Amino acid sequence: MSRIAPLEPPYAADIQQQFDRIMRGAPPLMLFRVMAGHARAWEKFRGGSLLDRGPLSLREREIVIDRTCALNRCEYEWGVHVRAFGQAAELTEKQVRATVLSDAADACWSPAEQAMIAAVDALHARSTLSEAEFVALSAHYNADRILEIIQLCGFYRTVSYLANALALPLEEGAARFPR
């Protein structure tokens, strides 16, 4: 059980509408149920505006999210994303494993994906990009997409902090970290 109790159904009408919009009719995740029980935290969480698709492809978005969650040892969110979006993002089993177990140079990634993963790794390790890392990223991504990559890293680091610190139980059916 979570360290902070989640909302239990039935939910207030406005909360149910927000869950429906985010989850597209599926039951709300434990993380959302915990956050929605605290109006300010829920508003700030949703205010991050990164729960939509944005300028990255689904594949690019999921690589950034999966890698960020893996680096933060957040099996909860990694598993939710791999289960919900991995197949639609056309991530192979090897690539899913690589988000946890390999580095950016793994041959399973395209050159653009390698530059993106190297940027995720740098942001995680140093909270910045070197000039060389930024140039490599810029060779494949425009400014809007680079900003989205950086913001996704920050947002999903926060999501990882929340899921890990609240000791959220893993969602039923979610993927598990490869061993």
pLDDT tens for each residue of 35-69: 999 999 999 998 876 667 789 999 999 999 999 99
Over residues 110-142, the pLDDT tens digits come to 999 999 999 999 999 999 999 999 999 999 999
39 lies in the same domain as 64: no
User: Is residue 87 in some structural domain?
Assistant: yes
Q: Closest Cα partner for 34 from 157, 152, 161, 153?
A: 161
90 and 146 assigned to the same domain = yes
Note down the domain range covering 146: 58-165
| Same domain membership, residue 36 and residue 108 | no
Q: Residue 12 burial by CB count (10 A; 0-12/13-18/19+): exposed, middle or buried?
A: exposed
Number of structural domains (the chain) is: 2
pLDDT, the chain, mean: 96
